[in-house]
């Protein structure tokens, strides 16, 4: 094959452009490709993990779906009556709806789900959709971006398949099972009895579902992969395109590829003509495109081109596939760290799980952007998707917003199942410019520090390099760095500086780049300054282990150029793993930001040294009734040279700020105003004050966005503040707030960031939405419908002035859905 040499050369390339391949919005039917959202109008009910009768009798018929094709019984049968089931839209996490129990799983946040709770650990989903008669002859598949976990899928009673992992995208060819010109039924059984991770994972179809339609001659799903070589003002793109011919006979065709800029204007176009492909085969084709003065994708300017790939056969465009392209180069140097577009960049990262207050793992796309904005506000430029492949929408947002990603595999291993999961996730994600490094595993304690780990890591990397040789690979290792995976991984992933001697390891493995895949954060509860461990809360200045925290970690990484950067554990609090506490604590407190997205004090330490703007932050609050005259430790986070602290207008002391450090004073408490003034070269550049507040008197609402899209998917994240009569935040207020919503929207969740709260986060029917504030704050998430108009949210609390917030939900382009299909 004449392109074989090109294929080998491609695998050796180090300078790359990354793209993300999606069919994007549905195109004209004449083009043969549609990508339809299937998130709306599902029916849901709990089943049973052990009692077949309570699991709707599924699997008890004389012939089951394993015995005869099309014999799905019970809730898998098309004729099953599901009208009594609850209607839900996706994404959906039923675990977040369940109550807490001190007997439930510690690692998963004490929710009543898992092997102890068979009555709440299985969920069923069903959806009916129409299909046009004109679709006969096309290839049609159903795509699940993530189901947690152990899912089984039927279409029209036909068994499609089974996916054990809750983090794998799965696609089923349903072409031959469909009723063309009629109604079709999809049924999904989800069993969350056995945990896959050791943190809250939710339960259900918690990511998007799609119906894909193509011509039988088409670009394969995720079938484009673009790499590049760049010079000062030029780029050469090598485009790899996998085409599938699912006709029985040979087809002749042309591949036409056009690069469009961010304004949708053509930059360059090229054709690969006179191609012939036998029936029921696929082939990968290569061609090169050159462009002058390309705009590179960077953190400051995450510029995205579009590559439009047309398949032309018999004079007609039979398939059109759009790929977003971000041109950039990446490399890891063993002595100098990470380089983006030839520029040395320190990776300033956090680990995150897919979990948020109110909604659990079922995070709407707009909420992904909200969370990334919070991290960028701190100065962070990177995310590690611990410890699994993320939802594609997270990577889409990182591509658009300029955030680097370490994309992580779920489980290490070298057999068919392990490689299949690794291949699916890498082929899906390798086109995102934000993804700069792959992680093939995390803290595999049985192998990470022995020879088995070295062998498995080597074998996995060799397999993965066949899929993408443009990026480096790492493994996150928590000990025994020189004896196991640390001997063979391309980039050494250090989990915690206390676990070994990083300098010594670098000396012994000088060929190996390094990065901090996890590092200790200063853990604790937002707004808590005295340990209350019996009630599940810790002072915000705790370290685990002792004397190791955010500052010590950053001081270590900041002065070692050979270390590419660091990912703190974690960016946000998450449900489960409330270590070192137990019940009644139900959430972790490792986050720099709490579960709602409210920054903790340590957020401002990193903002001081990671960000570019002057920062001044004082902790703790100044409401200490009963402690008059007693010393209070006051901490200031800032990036100025000198800080002057004043109490009630009187200077206490000026202190010089150490680089990457903080300052402390012992101040005898007196109500009033505490002010910190920051000076650079003797000039006042920034100041901050905190004041003693009165009793809570007003409820204040502020939304992250006042204008929303009426597409049935957009959300507003609304902060609820408890203010006194002077509009000062009352940092100790825990008042209960009730919410009333009117207009074309709905409340989908509430939270407050309290790691020991057992209040419900979701309500159904006609119950009154309510939530207690925690240390002055709470959060409510409002989702739009598909109708435009004014959404009015009223928040009230006994004895306090209420507030009304008005949001504008404007008419918007709605993503094509299966609801738009007519017979």
**For 384-440, what is each residue's pLDDT tens digit?**
999 999 999 999 999 999 999 999 999 999 999 999 999 999 999 999 999 999 999
The one catalytic residue among 443, 448, 519, 713: 443
DSSP letters for 288-342: EEEEESPPPB-SS-B--EEEEEEEEETTEEEEEEEEEEEE--EEEETTTEEEETT
Structure token pair of residue 519:
């590092």
Give the pLDDT score at 32.
Answer: 79
pLDDT at 767: 82
Q: Give residue 761's pLDDT.
A: 96
pLDDT class for 547, splitting at 50, 70, 90? low
How far apart CA 126 and CA 518 sit, in angstroms, is 40
DSSP class of residue 571?
A: S
Q: What is the mean pLDDT of the chain?
A: 94
Contact of 657 with 639, CB cutoff 8 Å: yes
Question: Whole-prediction pTM value?
Answer: 0.95
pLDDT score, position 144: 98
Three-state DSSP class for residue 820 = helix
Q: Please write the tens of the pLDDT for every residue from 95-105.
A: 999 999 999 99
Q: What is the pLDDT of residue 549?
A: 87
766 vs 98, more confident: 98
Are 428 and 463 in contact by the 8 Å Cβ rule? The answer is: no
Q: Round to whole Å and give the CA distance between 354 and 397.
A: 14
C-alpha angle with apex 731: 725 to 734, nearest 5 degrees? 90
9 pLDDT tier (thresholds 50, 70, 90): very low
Annotated catalytic residue: which of 196, 448, 518, 577? 518
Calculate the CA dihedral of residues 579, 584, 588, 593 and round it to 10 degrees: -140
- Residue 544: the pLDDT is 59
CB count, 10 Å around CB of 162? 11
- 25 — pLDDT class (breaks 50, 70, 90): very low
- Residue 700 designated active-site: no
Catalytic residue status for 443: yes
Residue 569 pLDDT > 90, yes or no?
A: yes
**pLDDT value at 470 more than 50:** yes
Q: What is the pLDDT of residue 545?
A: 60
d(CA 501, CA 657): 29
Looking at residue 14, its pLDDT comes to 32
At 764, is the pLDDT very low, low, confident or very high (cuts 50, 70, 90)?
confident
Tell me: pLDDT of 310 over 60: yes
What confidence score (pLDDT) does residue 304 get? 98
- Res. 26: pLDDT tops 60: no
Average pLDDT over residues 91-113: 98
What would the mean pLDDT of 550-574 be, rounded to a whole number? 97
Instruction: Give percent above pLDDT 90 in the chain.
Output: 93
State the Cα–Cα distance between residues 309 and 312, nearest whole angstrom: 10
C-alpha to C-alpha distance for 308 and 720, rounded to whole angstroms: 45
Give the pLDDT band of residue 708 (cuts 50, 70, 90): very high
Q: In whole angstroms, how far apart are CA 62 and each of 1, 52, 53, 72, 321?
A: 52, 14, 15, 11, 45
Do 491 and 474 contact (CB within 8 A), yes or no? yes
- Residue 549 CA to residue 592 CA, distance in Å, equals 11
pLDDT reading at 277 higher than 90: yes
**Whole-number pLDDT of residue 757:** 98
Confidence band for 354, pLDDT divided at 50, 70 and 90: very high
pLDDT score of 645: 98
Question: Is residue 17 over pLDDT 50?
Answer: no
């Amino acid at each position: 094959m004449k392109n074989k040499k090109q294929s080998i050369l491609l695998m050796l390339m180090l300078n790359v452009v990354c793209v993300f391949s999606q069919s994007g919005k549905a195109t004209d039917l004449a083009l043969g490709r549609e990508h339809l959202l299937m998130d709306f109008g599902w029916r849901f009910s709990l089943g049973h993990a052990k009692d077949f009768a309570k699991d709707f009798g599924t699997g008890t018929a004389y012939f089951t779906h394993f015995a005869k094709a099309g014999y799905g019984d019970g809730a898998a049968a098309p004729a099953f009556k599901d009208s009594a089931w609850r209607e839900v839209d996706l994404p959906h996490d039923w675990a977040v709806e369940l109550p807490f129990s001190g007997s439930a799983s510690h690692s998963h946040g004490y929710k009543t789900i898992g092997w102890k709770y068979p009555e709440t650990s299985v969920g069923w989903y069903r959806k009916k959709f129409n299909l046009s008669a004109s679709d006969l002859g096309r290839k049609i598949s159903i795509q699940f971006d993530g189901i947690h976990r152990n899912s089984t899928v039927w279409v029209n009673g036909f068994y499609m398949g089974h996916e054990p992992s809750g983090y794998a995208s799965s696609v089923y060819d349903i072409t031959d099972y469909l009723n063309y010109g009629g109604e079709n039924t999809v049924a999904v059984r989800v069993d969350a009895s056995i945990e896959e991770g050791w943190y809250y994972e939710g339960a259900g179809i918690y990511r998007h579902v799609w119906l894909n339609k193509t011509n039988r001659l088409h670009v394969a799903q995720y079938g484009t992969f673009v790499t590049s070589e760049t010079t000062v003002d030029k780029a050469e793109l090598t485009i790899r395109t996998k085409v599938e011919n699912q006709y029985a006979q040979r087809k002749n065709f042309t591949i036409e590829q056009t690069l469009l800029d961010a304004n949708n204007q053509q930059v360059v176009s090229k054709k690969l003509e006179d191609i012939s492909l036998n029936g029921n085969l696929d082939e990968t084709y290569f061609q090169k495109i050159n462009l002058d003065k390309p705009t590179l994708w960077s953190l400051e300017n995450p510029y995205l081109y579009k590559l439009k790939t047309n398949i032309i056969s018999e004079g007609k465009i039979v398939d059109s596939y759009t790929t977003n392209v971000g041109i950039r180069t990446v490399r890891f140097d063993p002595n100098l760290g990470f380089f983006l577009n030839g520029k040395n960049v320190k990776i300033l990262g956090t680990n995150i799980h897919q979990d948020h207050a109110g909604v659990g793992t079922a995070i709407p796309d707009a909420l992904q952007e909200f969370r990334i904005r919070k991290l960028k506000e701190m100065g962070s430029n990177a995310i590690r998707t611990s410890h699994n492949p993320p939802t594609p929408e997270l990577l889409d947002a990182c591509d658009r917003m300029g955030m680097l990603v370490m994309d992580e595999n779920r489980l290490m291993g070298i057999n068919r199942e392990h490689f299949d999961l690794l291949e699916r996730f890498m082929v899906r994600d390798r086109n995102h410019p934000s993804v700069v490094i792959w992680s093939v595993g995390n803290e595999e304690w049985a192998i990470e520090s022995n020879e088995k780990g070295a062998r498995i890591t080597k074998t996995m990397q060799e397999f993965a390099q066949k899929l993408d040789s443009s990026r480096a690979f790492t493994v996150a290792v928590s000990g025994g760095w020189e004896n196991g995976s640390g001997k063979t991984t391309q980039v050494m992933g250090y989990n915690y500086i206390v676990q070994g001697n990083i300098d010594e390891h670098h000396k012994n493995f000088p060929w190996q780049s390094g990065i901090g895949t996890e590092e200790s954060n200063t853990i604790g509860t937002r707004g808590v300054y005295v340990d209350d461990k019996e009630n599940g809360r810790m002072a915000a200045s705790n370290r685990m282990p002792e004397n190791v925290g955010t500052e010590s970690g950053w001081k270590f990484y900041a002065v070692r150029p050979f270390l590419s950067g660091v990912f703190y554990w974690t960016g946000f609090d998450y449900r489960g793993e409330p270590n070192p506490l137990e019940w009644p604590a139900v959430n972790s407190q490792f986050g720099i930001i709490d579960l709602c997205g409210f920054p903790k004090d340590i957020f401002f330490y990193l903002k001081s040294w990671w960000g570019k703007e002057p920062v001044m932050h004082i902790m703790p609050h100044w409401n200490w009734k009963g402690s008059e005259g007693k010393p209070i430790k006051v901490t200031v986070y800032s990036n100025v040279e000198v800080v002057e602290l004043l109490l009630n207008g009187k200077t206490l002391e000026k202190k010089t700020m150490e680089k990457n450090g903080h300052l402390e004073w012992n101040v005898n408490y007196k109500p009033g105003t505490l002010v910190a003034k920051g000076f650079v070269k003797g000039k006042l550049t920034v100041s901050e004050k905190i004041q003693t507040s009165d009793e809570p008197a007003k409820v204040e609402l502020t939304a992250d966005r006042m204008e929303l899209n009426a597409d049935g998917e957009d959300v507003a994240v609304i902060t609820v503040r408890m203010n006194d009569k002077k509009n000062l935040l009352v940092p100790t207020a825990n008042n209960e707030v009730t919410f009333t919503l009117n207009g074309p929207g709905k409340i989908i969740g509430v939270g407050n960031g309290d790691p020991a709260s057992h209040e419900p986060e979701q309500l159904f029917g006609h119950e009154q939405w309510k939530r207690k504030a925690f240390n002055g704050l709470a959060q409510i998430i409002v989702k739009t419908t598909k109708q435009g108009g004014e959404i009015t949210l009223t928040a009230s609390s006994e004895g306090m002035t209420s507030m009304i917030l008005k949001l504008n939900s404007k008419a918007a382009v709605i993503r094509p859905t299966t609801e738009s299909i007519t017979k």
